[in-house]
Structure 1
Amino acid sequence: MDSGNLAWAVTATALVLFMTPGVAFFYGGLVKAKSVVSMMMMSFGALGLVSVLWILYGFNMSTVTDVMQFSGNPFSDFGMGSVGDNSLVGATYGATFAIITVALISGAIADRAKFGAWMIFAGVWATVVYFPVAAWVWGGGWIMQLGTTFGFSTEVIDYAGGTAVHINAGAAALALALVLGKRIGFQKGITKPHNVPLVMLGAAILWFGWFGFNAGAQGTAGLLGAEDSSVGLIIINTLGATAAAIIGWLVVEKLKDGKATSVGAASGAVAGLVAITPACANLTPGWALLLGVLTGAVCALAIELKWKLGYDDSLDVVGIHLVGGLIGTIYLGFFATETGLFVGGNYEQLVVQVIAALGVLVYSFVVAWIIGFAIEKTMGFRIKNEDELAGVDSTVHGEEGYSLAEQS
């Protein structure tokens, strides 16, 4: 890897790492004031734990040598003592993806989860779900080679994590929301964001970091070059789809509720970022704009499903990440450059995209539900009702997000 690629790889790694504090700000602003510490701690807890697990064995598990392998051998190079310097940069970049994927799940269980139980879930889920799924999608596993298995002329497209990150996290979030049950007083308007500027700051950090998330692989894989690099396409699509999703969300919000809100704009941006993640290198900018506006509109409607179906996904991880990830992944089956059904390809791209998306969704949901249920029935995952009413920050962490001076 030359010095330019190396510099960009390190920069992209830092950008993606910064996204996890962005999630903490985004989620933290959405909850009530007496839950903000708990909410942000879940992201920082994931950052600490998953980093350690990735270095010890997660990186080893994220590549396979045979399409039928579940994952790599976790003990093949325990602690990464034999990985060369250049490979360590790429390995660190991969760690940041694992971290944020776990952190995203936490939004579904805001206001009612024990921190210790969350940390156990995060460690187990990362080990048995994220690390193997990363191997399936990017490390030579069954999803990466699905087209070859079927004898197709194309393979699954998931450039930066529509399946491995967003569908994966969204399905696990739905499972945990079902395991922990509804918050006390669950109904529309149960809580309003306590700090809208914090939400906007978190969304801005996420958008900023996402350029490393999507374009970073070009450097970490050593592919940046004047002739064959697609980094320009990736960054324009990351900008365009996200901007279009804001518009799509706000139009629906205005029609549905009569007002276009700043939280809606922030949520639309995140939805657009989610959808363009798998597709950033395989759509022309015009199709990326269409993807963005469709995703913003659909996700603005999808967040209402929890009220109709009765699952308490506190911060709409399902409506934004699961739904947005599905849209972005399956959209490629229709509009991927040269291989999509509607742009010169045939049905093959659509088939592999749908199978990959559903495979990860089902696996993540089932395993997350089993892990969450086991924790709930043993040490307990949900805090007591009286502690929820008192505020999870003070009862779980002994802290308050805001210490306001008493007025005389």
Structure 2
Amino acid sequence: MAPAITLAAEAPKLSAANTGFMLICSALVMLMTPGLAFFYGGMVRVKSTLNMLMMSFISLGIVTILWVLYGFSMAFGTDSGSIIGWNSDWVGLGNIGLTELWPGYTIPVFVFLVFQLMFAIITPALISGALADRVKFSAWALFIALWATVVYFPVAHWVWGAGGWAFELGVIDFAGGTAVHINAGAAALGVILVIGKRVGFKKDPMRPHSLPLVMLGAGLLWFGWFGFNAGSWLGNDDGVGALMFVNTQVATAAAMLAWLIYEKIRHGAFTTLGAASGAVAGLVAITPAGGAVTPLGAIAVGAIAGVLCAMAVGLKYKFGYDDSLDVVGVHLVGGVAGSLLIGLFASGKGQSTVEGLFYGGGLTQFWKQCAGVFAVLAYSLVVSAVLAFILDKTMGMRVPEDDEIAGIDQAEHAETAYDFSGAGGGAARTAAAAAAVGGAESKKVDA
């Protein structure tokens, strides 16, 4: 009998389909940052609208440049001590071949890096919602640059980089429960503990000025999140990306309904703000878990997160920290819930064979999830607070109190979101026209 011949595994080849799919997903994730800007912008008072929009938009500029210069290398370069990556050939992105494939996949390195860039952009933008109304724009811009460098890039390596300690431990984070949402939520808490409360917190009404903008922003986030989540499998040759797409929709719907039911029982009304916030809570929670759970599991993850986040947003009044737009209540709590629930609901039929407690797998994965969750939470909380403290003691993080009261838009941007000087309609416009006509007739008589 002739000896058996062992054939080497065929190397991956560039897939036009997966490449096109990932470019579309990258564009969808980019859209999430303007969507976030509208979501946050509608939730603040009129006098802070532009500043809130700009706090998201500036991240598109700053993080993009840092990613090209060194961010991609730090996050996904060759591992060093399971803490950080580095690849000098990736500095400036000038030494990457156009058709060079991301190792083990069928898409170019350029496609992978631009997809991950969009994650790096939106993560610091998420923090901004906690700081509404009171932070100098220049200080915020510098904070983004420092925070991305010393917090986001290293944490992304821990969770997703080959050799990162959380990656090697087996912590499951499909699309960013730890690296994005817990990271941003913990950072938000760290910063607001340093800079303090808004003028008038718990005394003055601080209601959203435009709920239609909030709903528009939530809709754009929901739409873009399909790229955020389904794209994180870097292709769909085995159906896992499609599972994530379905679970994203399912969990978001469940969380929105759960938040509204809780709200009706607790406060007596189904609000548009509750619907938008519930949807975002579901999106956050399914982000780490969606590749590991079944659609029924996604309903459970979404519903649990919807109720927990709805309960959590009121904690700021109990404990006295001023999280302006509930970044802690939604992103930190939602991210923790979604990440830990993997340890209970992982089915072993999705992205891996890992099974959670309810599928006979015991608590092994749950403890791994705890390690990833609380390590990222603690690191981001402490380092973010230190960065905010240094900036506050050097250049000052907050605008003067008079500027905060008068409106941060005019003080920081020399603009206002809405120009009412020429506005008028209905009875007001008719009365003005009548007065003008009356004045003209009076002049004719006098003449």
Partners of 1:58 and 1:74 within 8 A in 2? no
Partners of 1:27 and 1:315 within 8 A in 2? yes
Structure number with higher relative contact order (C-alpha < 8 Å, ≥ 6 residues apart) = 1
Deviation at 1:337, TM superposition (A): 1.2
Question: What is the alpha-carbon distance in structure 2 between the residues aligned to residue 301 and residue 347 of structure 1?
Answer: 26
Q: Scaled by the length of structure 2, what TM-score is found?
A: 0.87
Structure 1 equivalent of residue 49 of structure 2: 36
Tell me which of 137, 156, 167 is aligned to 1:134. 156
Tell me which of 172, 175, 194 is aligned to 2:187. 172
Higher mean C-alpha deviation, range 323-332 or range 179-188: 179-188
Structure 1 equivalent of residue 130 of structure 2: 108
Tell me which of 39, 43, 46 is aligned to 2:59. 46
Question: What is the alpha-carbon distance in structure 1 between the residues aligned to residue 400 and residue 362 of structure 2?
Answer: 54
Query: What amino acid sits opposite 1:102 in the alignment?
Result: P
Structure 2 equivalent of residue 344 of structure 1: 360
The reply to whether residue 182 of structure 1 matches residue 197 of structure 2 is yes
Deviation at 1:68, TM superposition (A): 2.3
CA offset digits 1:18-69 (Å, max 9, x no partner): 0000000000000000100000000011111001101111000012544723
CA offset digits 1:240-271 (Å, max 9, x no partner): 00000001100111111111100100000000
Query: What amino acid sits opposite 2:264 in the alignment?
Result: K
Structure 2 equivalent of residue 403 of structure 1: 419
Unaligned ranges ≥5, structure 1:
147-154
Structure 2 equivalent of residue 358 of structure 1: 374
Structure 1 equivalent of residue 385 of structure 2: 369
Distance of aligned partners of 1:65 and 1:73 in 2 relative to their CA distance in 1, 3 Å threshold:
closer
Kindly tell me the number of residue pairs found equivalent between the two proteins.
Answer: 395
Unaligned ranges ≥5, structure 2:
1-13, 99-107, 349-354, 425-431, 433-447
CA offset digits 1:369-406 (Å, max 9, x no partner): 00000000110001111000010000011010001134
Query: What amino acid sits opposite 1:384 in the alignment?
Result: P
The reply to whether residue 57 of structure 1 matches residue 70 of structure 2 is yes
Tell me which of 308, 317, 335 is aligned to 1:325. 335
Tell me which of 92, 115, 134 is aligned to 1:93. 115
Partners of 1:159 and 1:281 within 8 A in 2? yes
Partners of 1:30 and 1:315 within 8 A in 2? yes
Structure 2 equivalent of residue 150 of structure 1: none
Deviation at 1:70, TM superposition (A): 2.3
Partners of 2:230 and 2:241 within 8 A in 1? yes
Query: 1:205-224 residue pairs with structure 2 within 5 A?
Result: 205-218=220-233, 221=234, 223-224=235-236
Q: Scaled by the length of structure 1, what TM-score is found?
A: 0.95
RMSD after superposition: 1.2
Deviation at 1:189, TM superposition (A): 6.2
Structure 2 equivalent of residue 149 of structure 1: none
The reply to whether residue 275 of structure 1 matches residue 285 of structure 2 is yes
Partners of 2:255 and 2:303 within 8 A in 1? yes
Higher mean C-alpha deviation, range 251-260 or range 299-308: 251-260
Question: What is the alpha-carbon distance in structure 2 between the residues aligned to residue 305 and residue 173 of structure 1?
Answer: 14
Distance of aligned partners of 1:275 and 1:80 in 2 relative to their CA distance in 1, 3 Å threshold:
same
Partners of 1:31 and 1:193 within 8 A in 2? yes
Question: What is the alpha-carbon distance in structure 1 between the residues aligned to residue 187 and residue 205 of structure 2?
Answer: 23
Stretches (4+) displaced over 4 A: none
Structure 2 equivalent of residue 287 of structure 1: 297
Percent of pairs with identical residues: 53
Higher mean C-alpha deviation, range 192-201 or range 179-188: 179-188
